[in-house]
Amino acid sequence: MPKMVFIERDGTRKEVEAPLGLSVLEIAHRHGIDIEGACEGSLACATCHVIVEGDWFAKLSSPTEDEEDMLDLAFDLQETSRLGCQIVMTDALDGLTVKLPGKS
């Protein structure tokens, strides 16, 4: 099964199983990672904001205009910021590493 790594706010790295077809938000919730996802993945908030590490960002599909609009509301926005609800696991993303943004 594919895996991914979450870097928590305190810097702790947590490698978890990442089933194909699930979003980063869904994977986080399955493993007790502190990502809110207030809108439950309906692209109506920015509470599942993650920062994609390194070269992984280039492997993702481009964000939609709606995602970019929501990201404008995110705290600690970075060049490689994405919404976790919009990143869906594929074989090509095995090993994906994302960092949780700082606290607001």
Q: Where are the domains of the chain?
A: 3-99
Domain 3-99, CATH homologous superfamily name and number: Beta-grasp domain (3.10.20.30)
pLDDT reported for residue 48: 97
C-alpha radius of gyration, the chain, whole number? 12
Low-confidence ranges of the chain (pLDDT < 50): none
Token output for 72: 């404008």
Look up the pTM and report it: 0.95
Q: Which residues contact 36 (CB under 8 A, 6 or more apart)?
A: 47, 48
| Burial class of residue 62 (count of CB atoms within 10 Å of its CB; 0-12, 13-18, 19+) | exposed
The rounded distance, in Å, linking the Cα atoms of 27 and 33 is 8
pLDDT reported for residue 103: 66
| Burial class of residue 72 (count of CB atoms within 10 Å of its CB; 0-12, 13-18, 19+) | exposed
Residue with the two structure tokens 């995602």: 67
